[in-house]
Amino acid sequence: MVQQNNTQVAAIANQFIQHARYKLTPREMKLILHMASLIKPEDSDFETYLVPVKDIETVLKTDDGKKHGSFYERLDDLLDSVTSKKITFPTDFVLEGTRLRGHINWVAGAVPKYSEDGVLCVEFGFSPQMKPFMLGLKERFTRFELIEVARMKSSFSIRIFQMCKSFYYENIRHGRNVMNVGVIELKERLGIKDKYPDFRNFRRKVLDVAREEINEKTRLKVDLEFGRKGRKITHVHFKINEKGDDPLYLEEEGSVRPKAQKGKPGGQFLARIDRLTEAQRRAFNHLTEYGVNLAIVLDEVLPIIRGSELDGYEDFFVTYMLAFFEKKTNRSTAKDKIKAFVQWIRNKRFEEPGLYASLMEQVISRKKQLNTAERDNREKARKMTAQDFRKLLANEKNIGKHPLGEPTYSVRNKVHAKRRKSEVKEVKELFQENLAARDDFHLAHFRKQHPKIYRRILQERVEALADLKESSNFDQLLQSSVTAYCEQWWKQQAG
Domain layout of the chain by residue ranges: 1-150, 153-243, 250-436, 440-495
- Angle, helix 314-328 to helix 474-494, in steps of 10 degrees: 130
Whether 153-243 and 1-150 are alike in CATH topology: the answer is yes
* Encoded amino acid at 57, one letter: E
pLDDT band at 66, cuts 50/70/90? low
pLDDT band at 121, cuts 50/70/90? very high
Q: Compute CA 248 distance to the chain's CA centroid, rounded to the nearest angstrom.
A: 16
pLDDT in tens, 300-312: 899 999 888 889 9
Burial 279-308 (b: 16+ CB within 10 A, else e): bbbbbbbbbbbbbbbbbbbbeebbeebeee
* Total residues belonging to the chain: 495
Q: Which of the residue ranges 110-124, 209-223, 453-467 would you say has the lowest mean pLDDT?
A: 453-467
CA atoms within 13 A on the CB side of 263: 0
pLDDT value at position 236?
96
Q: Does domain 153-243 have CATH number 1.10.10.10?
A: yes
pLDDT band at 431, cuts 50/70/90? very low
Helices (H) and strands (E) in the chain, counts: 23, 12
**Assigned CATH for 1-150:** 1.10.10.10
Average pLDDT over residues 197-214: 95
Question: What pTM was estimated for this model as a whole?
Answer: 0.53
Average pLDDT over residues 441-463: 84
Average pLDDT over residues 85-99: 82
pLDDT band at 203, cuts 50/70/90? very high
pLDDT in tens, 134-171: 988 877 888 888 887 888 999 999 999 999 999 988 88
Contact 202/50 with Cβ under 8 angstroms?
Answer: no
pLDDT in tens, 253-289: 223 333 434 333 344 566 778 888 989 988 988 888 7
Contact 406/366 with Cβ under 8 angstroms?
Answer: yes
- Looking at the chain, the whole-number percentage of residues with pLDDT higher than 70 is 79
* Encoded amino acid at 70, one letter: S
The DSSP secondary-structure symbol of 349 reads G
461 pLDDT higher than 50 = yes
- CA–CA dist 223, 216 (Å, integer): 12
When the pLDDT of each residue in the chain is averaged and rounded to a whole number, the result is: 78
First to last CA, the chain: 61
pLDDT value at position 210?
96
- CA–CA dist 463, 407 (Å, integer): 19
Average pLDDT over residues 14-39: 90
pLDDT in tens, 345-370: 988 888 887 888 889 888 888 888 88
68 pLDDT higher than 70 = no
pLDDT value at position 63?
60
